[in-house]
Chains A and B, each alone.
Chain A
């Protein structure tokens, strides 16, 4: 056994030197389908000019301009945003910066949402997975709505200066304009000390509410946060794109481009992503594939406000995306990053088949056990399921352990 392990590792080392020069390696990101993180349709989003809009209206406005849809799941619509929609985004140093929204996101969802209330009277309804920015014993990080507890301290914007200083009558009622700076209601400061542009409010209640209909989200590149009209800061995220985002200069998401003309727009790739590791620079192409499945039933999308044509179109896109992903796996990738949800059972037929297919192609594969921030996550369960491969735990959402992920990707595919 020791000998075989040895042999295996020397072969994988040989494999990595085989493709260490010249052309960037094409790395496919594969995995089963995933769930989204969203806000209810009536939630109001604070815009960079100090006004606020319902998130559904922001989405509809973008949708009206017929932009490219880059979603990789038929339940979702993920539209490219015109450059002029900007929101105040919270940076990691807790200062606020007006940032363009790159994408708007909509997903059909029938199930429970969480209505979160704070001591200062803020209220927002979000999907269970939607993260807030919270101050915890471990510092400032993200906490999912369903993990919020009474007393969790969540970030509120305390002040914000719009870029052009232009005001409109739609100014959020919770904002007080004072010269060029908007300040939220001063009662904040009686309770909490502001840090940067943020003050910390306290969760007093989270209440599950039934929802049937669409839910929405925004993609805010780089800072990955935006705020509701009354200043509550929420995180944004798009899972598979984190890797590309972290590695590219502008943090942009894997774009809607397809490498094959006339091919489906569902194929997304990011070329020449450069990772620097230990002074060595590694160039790879990232191919982001939709969740692989063996069945697609359009009637699942046929909900009260989705027309049949739309549902059929989306299911067709999904099938094209999966077919293309399978084709690439056989013909066109040099390595695979297989992303699994650590909170889910890894012993599914799709996972077993895909890992088998990847192995039969002799492709280097790195398994990422994502969502380790969830209580029910088990990295060991995934290691047990695929003991022949290295499993790296991470939380793409929280950015946990991303350094090791990049080290390993550079090691495996560099």
Chain B
């Protein structure tokens, strides 16, 4: 990511699905955590796969460090597709996990409201 952080602002990285497509799981996780650990808000156009989400939680846990990093806040829209549809998708071999996902440092981002169509978060400067 280019270094564009304002002295007292919050940097937001909006990462396209296309950019993510060319990355391996651990690369994505590294990119997200590097951004978040720098105090940035990372917004993924298409989110992560369930497998990547579980690795993200696991790696986040191993990086939590007192006075340095408290972990992440992550929000995405709850799945709107029905169980049958996602099962069918899985039968067809395509996992419809594309969902806008917001990730930020746990101590700087707070979810105010979330429903199937709206995520409201409050971001504070560190």
Interface: B34 (CB within 8 A): no
Using known A-B contacts A319-B61, A326-B54, A347-B78, determine if residue A296 contacts B87 with beta carbons closer than 8 Å.
no
B74 at the interface (CB under 8 A from A): yes
Q: How large is the interface on B (under 10, 10 to 19, 20 to 34, 35 or more residues)?
A: 35 or more
Chain A residue nearest to B76 (CB atoms) is: A349
Q: Given A295-B71, A296-B64, A356-B53, A326–B58 Cβ distance below 8 Å?
A: yes
Q: Of B54, B66, B78, B83, which contacts A329 at CB under 8 A?
A: B54
Q: Flag if B107 contacts A297 (CB, 8 Å).
A: yes
* A298 part of interface (Cβ distance < 8 Å): yes
A295 to B65, CA, bound (A): 11
B111 to chain A, nearest CB (A): 8
* Residues of chain B lying within 8 A (CB to CB) of residue A326: 54-55, 57-58, 61
A-B contact pairs, 12 of them (CB 8 A): A5-B84, A295-B64, A297-B70, A297-B106, A323-B58, A323-B62, A326-B58, A349-B75, A353-B54, A360-B49, A361-B50, A388-B87
Counting contact residues on chain A (CB < 8 A from B), the size range is: 20 to 34
A297 to B71, CA, bound (A): 8
Q: Is A102 an interface residue (CB 8 A)?
A: no
Interface residues of chain A: helix, strand, loop or mixed (majority): helix
Given contacts A353-B57, A389-B83, 11 further A-B contacts (CB under 8 A): A294-B57, A294-B74, A322-B61, A323-B58, A323-B61, A330-B51, A330-B55, A349-B75, A388-B82, A388-B83, A388-B86
| Residue of B60, B70, B73, B78 touching A352 (CB-CB under 8 A) | B78
A77 interface residue per 8 A CB criterion? no
Q: How far is the CA of A320 from the CA of B58 in the complex (A)?
A: 9
* A294 in contact with B58 (CB, 8 Å): no
CA distance A360 to B55 in the complex (A): 13
Contact present for A360 and B95 (CB under 8 Å): yes
A248 within 8 A of B: no
Contact with B along A305-338 (1 / 0, CB 8 A): 0000000100100011011001101100000000
Q: Is A191's CB within 8 Å of the partner chain B?
A: no
Contact indicator A292/B106 (Cβ below 8 Å): no
Assess whether A387 is interfacial by the CB under 8 Å rule: yes
With beta carbons under 8 angstroms apart, the residue of B66, B79, B88 that contacts A356 is: B79
